[in-house]
């Protein structure tokens, strides 16, 4: 079984979060889903909004969605090791049918796509789609 991956990118973390929710709704019947979400939104959010984000993550987990919050940084530059470590572990242990990866605003979507198309990932991904945020 190969994983269908979606890389959600854009400048606004709130818009990216909405796009992820749309994708989760669209992929609801696809099997196991993993969300590798950016932690960037926490740096901009009030304590109340942060609490709501934690509740949203708990709700996702209750629906059977595996949620990982990634440390800050560009996933093709400063956080490349974090991405590849979490990604390898997630693909091997969770074996998701669908993987949603939220890229922080400073990430380079095309470079992350190129990274995930390297030979070491060939056996894992059915396809990888770049998805822009929605307003």
| CATH code of the domain containing 53 | 3.40.50
Give the pLDDT score at 50: 80
Contact 51, 117 (CB under 8 A): no
Residue 17, domain extent: 3-132
Q: How many domains are there within the chain?
A: 1
Q: How far apart are alpha carbons 126 and 111 in whole angstroms?
A: 19
With a CB cutoff of 8 Å and minimum separation 6, the contacts of 52 are: none
Query: CA dist 10 to 30, 80, 104, 107, Å?
Result: 25, 18, 7, 9
Which is nearest to 63 in space by CA: 24, 37, 97?
A: 24
Task: Encode burial over 50-84: b for 16+ CB neighbours within 10 A, e otherwise.
Answer: eeebeeebeebeeeebbbebbeebbbbeebeeebb
Query: The pTM is what?
Result: 0.88
Q: How far apart are alpha carbons 65 and 87 in whole angstroms?
A: 15
pLDDT in tens, the chain (135 residues): 899 999 999 888 888 888 999 999 999 889 999 999 887 777 777 788 888 888 888 888 888 888 888 877 766 676 778 888 889 999 999 899 999 999 888 788 999 899 999 999 999 999 999 998 666
Q: How far apart are alpha carbons 111 and 106 in whole angstroms?
A: 12
Give the pLDDT score at 127: 94
| SS3 labels along 15-29 | HHHHHHHHHHHHCCC
């Amino acid at each position: 079984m190969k994983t269908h991956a979606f890389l959600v990118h854009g400048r606004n973390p709130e818009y990216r979060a909405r796009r992820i929710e749309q994708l989760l709704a669209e992929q609801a019947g696809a099997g196991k889903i993993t969300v590798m979400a950016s932690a960037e939104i926490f740096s901009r959010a009030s304590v109340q909004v942060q609490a709501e984000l934690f509740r949203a993550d708990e709700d996702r987990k209750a629906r059977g969605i595996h949620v990982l919050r990634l440390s800050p940084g560009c996933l093709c530059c400063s956080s490349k090791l974090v991405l590849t470590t979490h990604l390898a572990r997630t693909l091997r242990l969770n074996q998701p049918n669908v993987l949603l990866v939220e890229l922080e605003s400073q990430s380079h979507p095309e470079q992350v796509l190129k990274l995930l198309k390297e030979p070491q990932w060939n056996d894992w991904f059915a396809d990888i789609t770049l998805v822009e945020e929605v307003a």
